[in-house]
Amino acid sequence: VFACWAVAAYALGWWRLNVALAWFWWRHLDSGLHSAVHGDFRWRRGWHRCFLLIYGTLSSRAVEYYNGQAQLQGVGMSKHYWHHVHTNNRQQDPDWSTMTGIVWVRRHWSAQWHRCHRWQRVYWLPVTTIVEPFLELFHVAISLLEAFALLLEPPSEAAPPLPRRLGACAALCAELLLNPGFQGASFFLQPWRRALGTLLLARGVARIVLYPFSEVQHYMPELFDAPPAGRGSGRGVGVADGSGADGLGVEEEWAVGQLRRTANLRLGSPIARALDFFMFHGDTYQIEHHLWPAMSFVRLPQAASIVRATCAEFGVPYHEVGYLEGYAKIWQQVSANRYPPSQVDVDLACGEAGPAAAAGSGEEPEAPRAWVCSLKRHLEEDEPPDTPVEKPRAK
């Protein structure tokens, strides 16, 4: 089916079909590689190798992330497996590299703040759908030039063998030609202006459609950017580094940490659930996937009913986020982090009434809000906060 779509989109120039389904096939190819690495097709060893080769070729740039470096030959854990072990741990989860550091859209206080972030609510969508796709295309073009340049390097012990360099270059070329995120074949079969316009439009639509699938489920700082509720309760939230340790240094159970830091995407439409299933990932069952990474996505719905009932029985968190709710969460993060950490809006952190009203009512403020208020107060006073966390950079 993908081959038929690629012929119609790249060769025949059916740009409406291209834009309408590029997001689905882009996600499917990446998720197919993800499923192959996790062993979803291992019921037949030959089929497993075949799927791993196909998806690894069409998504070659993600092979190292999912499967580890080739020179290690399977020794150690890949970045993706490291993400499974240390989910949403700001200091150890490799996926957090896209949320911290220097970014156009600042969605967490640990990311470096710049004056432009004051207006990120205005430019967030254009940057997400236009600037960042352009930036990725430039980086991919640089990677292609480096791959060709590596073929010309003289033999040495530090350089990979020539067959491996040829294979890596060929796989990268195949991905750039056929992957819906790059569509290089269309530039040879259509006028380049039309091909470029269709590609940029398809990538912009893909970013909008797929935002809740990847951004929300693995990035919910409101669930772990706070001190725990109490020792041994299993219901508290970890400190700001996402380690899951309570205030007395007692580590929570790994399964509880996975349940607390991961969420399922709740899709109400049967058509949406069918599309999610055929993307070979099972995004609607991220909790179960993180609990059992080697379980096939076909079995995840069955496991979800058991996990949901068990969490309700023992009072353990089980988070589900609606598709449109995911956009609302992203907007809240963009709005809350447009100022430096020392200028966090107290109303956003403590609620409209603020901590004073909560104290007057005799009720304790919620842990995340109380911690943010404490952090803001101590930053202004240049004193360490009550919770042993890394102090955000303040200007």
Transcribe 19-55 into DSSP letters: HHHHHHHHHHHHHHHHHHHHTTTTTSHHHHHHHHHHH
Digit-coded pLDDT (tens) for 227-274 = 333 333 333 333 444 455 544 455 678 888 888 888 888 888 888 888
User: 334 vs 103, 127, 228, 393, CA distance in Å?
Assistant: 12, 13, 25, 18
Over residues 126-141, mean pLDDT: 92
Over residues 277-282, mean pLDDT: 78
Over residues 311-325, mean pLDDT: 90
Task: For the beta carbon of residue 25, count every other beta carbon within 10 angstroms.
Answer: 24
**Whose CA is closest to 102, among 92, 90, 110?**
110
Digit-coded pLDDT (tens) for 87-100 = 877 778 888 877 77
In three-state form (DSSP H/G/I as H, E/B as E, the rest C), the secondary structure along 359-379 is HHCCCCCCHHHHHHHHHHHHH
Least reliable range by pLDDT among 70-79, 121-130, 153-162: 70-79
Query: Which has the higher per-residue pLDDT, 153 or 213?
Result: 153
Per-residue pLDDT, 313:
93
User: 231 vs 241, 248, 254, CA distance in Å?
Assistant: 18, 7, 15
Q: Which residues contact 166 (CB under 8 A, 6 or more apart)?
A: 151
Please check the confidence at residue 303 and state whether its pLDDT lies above 90.
yes
Distance CA 351, CA 347 (A): 5
Cα angle, residue 137 at apex, residues 8 and 52 outer, rounded to 5°: 65
Residue 84's pLDDT band, with cuts at 50, 70 and 90, is confident
Digit-coded pLDDT (tens) for 17-65 = 999 999 999 999 999 999 998 888 888 888 889 999 999 999 999 998 8
Percent of the chain whose predicted confidence (pLDDT) is above 70: 75
Distance CA 179, CA 171 (A): 11
Residue 72's pLDDT band, with cuts at 50, 70 and 90, is low
Per-residue pLDDT, 102:
85
Length of the chain: 395
Per-residue pLDDT, 45:
87
Digit-coded pLDDT (tens) for 167-199 = 889 999 999 999 999 999 999 999 999 999 999
Per-residue pLDDT, 73:
62
Percent of the chain whose predicted confidence (pLDDT) is above 90: 37
Mean pLDDT of the chain: 79
Please check the confidence at residue 135 and state whether its pLDDT lies above 50.
yes
Over residues 280-309, mean pLDDT: 88
Digit-coded pLDDT (tens) for 334-386 = 998 899 876 444 344 444 333 333 333 444 434 344 444 444 444 444 444 44
Residue 224's pLDDT band, with cuts at 50, 70 and 90, is low
